[in-house]
Structures are given as C-alpha cells and as structure tokens.
Structure 1
Amino acid sequence: MNHLKTFSLLAALTALFGGLGYLIGGAGGMLIALLIAGGMNLFSYWNADKIVLKMYRAQPVDEAHPNAVVRNYVADVRQMAADAGLPQPVVAIIPQDQPNAFATGRNPANAAVCATTGLLDMLTRDEVRGVMAHELAHVKNRDTLTMTVTATIAGAIAALANFALFFGGGGSDEEERPGGIVGALALMILAPMAAGLVQMAISRAREYEADRVGAEIAGDPQALASALEKIEAYARGIQNPTAERNPASGQLFIINPLAGKGADNLFSTHPATANRVRALLERVGGAVRRPATAWSAPSASTGVPVTPSPGPWS
C-alpha cells in the first residue's frame, strides 16, 4: 500500500508539472527549468552522502573503536546488513545530544548510516538495533533515489513557476491560456506549494514503509516502537542547531529534528510518532516495553545482559 501511495504521489507530481507547463504555455521555459532543477538534483544525488556527513560532522567508526557501546553498535549494524542481504554501509556517529539517526547514499553500495551520541546514550541496545534497522530499511528500499526523483520534479515545478512569475509564460496571447492571467498567476503561486505538500506526503509514506521493513530486519517491532517514543520525548527538549540551519535535511532523520508536534499533517515530513508506534504494535499485538536505563536490557540477538551504564557521552 505504501509503495502504491508513493507511486501515486509521484504520478501526481509529474501531472502537476505537465499541467503547469501547459497552462503557462512556456515550453522553452519549462525545458530550461527542468534542466536546471535536474542538474542541481543530479549533483546532490551523486554527492549527497558526502555533503550530509560533512554537514553533521559525522565520524566513521568500526569494531576497533575503544568504546564498547560503539563497538556493539557497529557490530549490530553490520550483522543486520548482512542478514538483510545488503552491502556493508559506512557506520558513523554524530556528536549531537539530540537522539536521532539517518541513512544517506545514492544506492545500497554507497550507503552510510549514522546515529547521534544522544541516541546511544538514551536508548537500550535493542532499541538502537531497531532504529538502525529502520535506517537499513531506507537503504534497502532505495528511498534516497525516490526522494531524489521527488525533489527533482518538485524543484522543476518551483523553478518553472518562478520563471513564469518574473518573466511571463511562453504563450503568445494571455487570452489563449486556460483561466486567463488570474488562473496563471494562481498556479504560479499554488503549484510550488502543492508540489512541496506532495513531496512531504511521499516522505511520510517512506517512513511508514521503513518502519515495517526495519521491524522485519531487527525481528523486534516492539523495540523500534519503544525507541520512537523515547526519541520523540527526548528530542522535543534538545535542539539540533545543524538541522535548524539546514531544514531541508530534516526528512533524513528517523524523527523530525525540527520544532513541531501534533498528528500527521500536510506540512510534516514525518508521520506522528503515535501513529507509527500504533502500526508497529499492531504487528505483534502487544504493549511497548520500557527498560529503565540505557543499554541495561538483554540483547535481542545474544540474550546476554549488558552492564548498566550512564552512556558513553554523559
């Protein structure tokens, strides 16, 4: 259903782009806008992982890291990637107190998954596994590619609307345009807004799908549901300055790192956490487990209790 919803929304974006070009009548301007937007997004697609990792000062880590918590984190990601049939991604940590995580890269062979130090501090090992399984699901589903295509079309719509607004459409006679000049002006203003809303809707659909696949990869929907609730609760009180300066990167994270709350709405890139938790728990018909301290619960993969710790970054 989520794949169908994503396809339908992409089709709607494409139709909106074609319709705007037709109503404005500027075939030449439409082509120029599409080429510019396509070029910008193609550059971002090939370099997105490097740009985002540098932006958030992500530090690659491996099994040789001196901190045992980080070593467990790396080992769990590598084990789940192998179980999911994925190439081994770059595993990194971000020096940020807000608990969060994201995946980036143009395809599974060039992927990177990142967790903040706050995430490793505040969640149990099983919950971290659930979160990183969600990020591996984004890699497996090639969501980076989906969002790149979405951004390309949405960017082309915005560029075309701006071109028409400032330079006029390519039609030879305003009366020939359906809706006249008033209709054309309305479309120039509303089309980019509609494209942005559709782009956000696609992002929400991909989050639900990554929750589903991530629960399968980790084998523990309850751990991911518990992690989402904890991240939501902690993230509201901790700012992420880098995300605030670069709000377009907010859709990468498992929980929206920007200010905002409430149920799913048209202006949110992420579904409401309560809705995501409900969908996960419907898979097991249970309640969310809430271990008392970070990294104090037995590992789901080994069953061996982990020594309680205040967290490696406290």
Structure 2
Amino acid sequence: MSNTLKTGALLGLLTGLLVLIGGYFGGSQGMSIAFVMAFLMNFGAYWFSDRIVLAMYRAQPVSEAEAPELHRIVQGLTMRAHMPMPRLYIIPTDALNAFATGRDPEHAAVAATQGIVRVLNEEELEGVLAHELAHVRNRDTLISTIAATLAGVIMMLARMAMWMPYFGGGGSRDNEDRGGGAIGFLFLALLAPIAATLIQLAISRSREFQADETGAGLTHKPYALAAALQKLEVGANRLPLEASPATSHLFIVNPIRGNALFKLFSTHPPIEERIARLQALVV
C-alpha cells in the first residue's frame, strides 16, 4: 500500500474514532456535534496554522539580500520541481532544524534556524530544503495539520470524559444498563487519546519517509540529505530546540528529546532508518 493510501486510511480511522466518541456521548446528535467541532478547528487550522506556527518560533522573513544563499538554493529547487517560490524565514536560534508550513504550494513557507544555515554545507542545506519543499509538494503540511486537529479534538473529548462520571454524565441508558458505561468512560479517558496519538504518529512517520525520498530525487544527492540528517540528530541531542509537542511533527528532525519509551511515541521514524533508506538510493 502506498504512503498516500496509508495516510488516507489513517485519517479515516481518526475520523471514525471521533464519530464513535460523539456517538457515545449523544448518539447521532453527538456525532453531529463532534463533526462540527472538527470542522471549525480544521477551518481555523487551514487558514491560520502557518501564521500561528511561524509566530510561535519567532521566525523572521528574510529577503534575497538578507539571505542570498538560502534564496538561491530554494529558487533552484522550485524551478526544478515546477513549484511557486515559498516565503523564507529564519528562526533565531543556534539549534539545528527546519520546517515547512502552509495549506498549499501557493501559500507555503519554509523556515530554517540560524544554526542550520551556519553549520551545514551547501549540498547538505540543499538536501534539507528539498525535503521541506517535498512536504509542501506532497501536501503534507495540510495533512499533518488535519491529523493534529482531529487528534486534538479526540483528546479534548477524552479529558471531558474523565470528569463526566463525577457529574452524572455518561453514555446512553442502554449502555449503562449493560454495564457499558464504565467501560466506555475507561476507553474514552485512557484508550482513545492513545489510539489517536498512535494514528497521528503513523501519519507523520510515513510522510517523513516519503519527503526524504522525494527530496533526494529532487537533488539527485541522497547522500547529502543523509549526511545532513546525521548532523541534525547530533545537534538536536546537544542543543534541543524548545518546541511544543503539538508542532514537533513539522520539523525535519524531532526537536524534543527523550528516553527509549519516548522514542517509541516519536513523531519521526528512527534517524538510522531514514539514513539507511537514503543510502540505499545511492547508485
């Protein structure tokens, strides 16, 4: 199954999980309310997510005069990919990372940290920027935003479910008569957010592999992106970027560090596997 089909199936699972939760709370009316919540949050994310995330990391727009190398590399890549030129930003930090955002190629932005521009050589920087443009080209920025929004709605409903038993709330009377009320609350409060997180992670990880491959195909230098990923991983361990878990999936390497259990729930696939796949593309 292709990554696109997998992503569609996983988004369907997230939506289905949301419908089940809405149905448990209020039957068909609850389903409608859940859909309305998801629609409103996705509407806001669609139109404003790029501005929000750029502001979160204090990203500053840079002109061609201010960042000539960055502009030259991206201009060359967009011409090769037949894409519009995105807005370019610099994040004022020595941490090594980059991300892309925007609802479509015509409204895209690519942001790189000061550290990544300074540390990477030209081929490595080109590989990173090609990876980010691949996310834009593949509509990953929009898909990731929708997945994060749906998962956020599910987690919000799960938090509500944790408190409802104390206020006499619950599922339908039939469910409670069958003893299903307690089981339903347990699912909502504990299992639903875990399921939503795992689905979101699966979407994010599959898109990272695809962006690596697309970016490497754009530059014809998979070894350069592999070398860049190695440097970025080492840099992220030495100087992690202060990032929100809600936006960590946007970055080329996970800015949040943790133990082995944390890596299991990371928004990114293991860096060793990404490098191995890129090295396999070298002919």
Aligned-pair identity (%): 48
Q: Distance in 2 between matches of 1:105 and 1:88?
A: 12
Q: Map of 1:95-174 to 2, 5 A cutoff?
A: 95-167=92-164, 168-174=169-175
Contact 1:57 1:95 in 2 (8 A): yes
**Secondary structure of residue in 1 paired with 2:253:** coil
Q: Distance in 1 between matches of 2:115 and 2:261?
A: 25
Q: What letter matches 1:141 in structure 2?
A: N
Kindly state the Cα deviation for residue 237 of structure 1 after the two structures are TM-superposed.
Answer: 0.7
> What's the counterpart of residue 202 of structure 2?
201
Residues 49 and 92 of structure 1, relative CA distance in 2, 3 Å threshold: same
Q: Distance in 1 between matches of 2:99 and 2:71?
A: 15
> What's the counterpart of residue 248 of structure 1?
246
Q: Map of 1:139-288 to 2, 5 A cutoff?
A: 139-167=136-164, 168-175=169-176, 180-189=180-189, 190-241=191-242, 243=243, 246-260=244-258, 266-284=264-282
Deviations 1:83-125 (A, max 9, x none): 1111110011111101110001111100000111100111111
Kindly state the Cα deviation for residue 262 of structure 1 after the two structures are TM-superposed.
Answer: 5.2
Deviations 1:16-51 (A, max 9, x none): 223334445543334323323432332122111111
Q: Distance in 2 between matches of 1:165 and 1:263?
A: 25
User: Greater share of helix residues, 1 or 2?
Assistant: 2
Give the structure with higher Rg (CA). Answer: 1
Kindly state the Cα deviation for residue 180 of structure 1 after the two structures are TM-superposed.
Answer: 1.0
Segment drifting more, 32-41 vs 84-93:
32-41
Which TM-score applies when normalising by structure 2? Answer: 0.90
Contact 2:61 2:89 in 1 (8 A): yes
Kindly state the Cα deviation for residue 256 of structure 1 after the two structures are TM-superposed.
Answer: 0.7
> What's the counterpart of residue 57 of structure 1?
58
Q: What letter matches 2:135 in structure 1?
A: H
Contact 2:205 2:267 in 1 (8 A): yes
Q: What letter matches 1:201 in structure 2?
A: A
Kindly state the Cα deviation for residue 7 of structure 1 after the two structures are TM-superposed.
Answer: 2.0
Q: Distance in 2 between matches of 1:263 and 1:5?
A: 25
Q: What letter matches 2:95 in structure 1?
A: Q
Residues 103 and 140 of structure 1, relative CA distance in 2, 3 Å threshold: same
Segment drifting more, 221-230 vs 21-30:
21-30
Q: What letter matches 2:226 in structure 1?
A: A
Which TM-score applies when normalising by structure 1? Answer: 0.81
Segment drifting more, 207-216 vs 34-43:
34-43
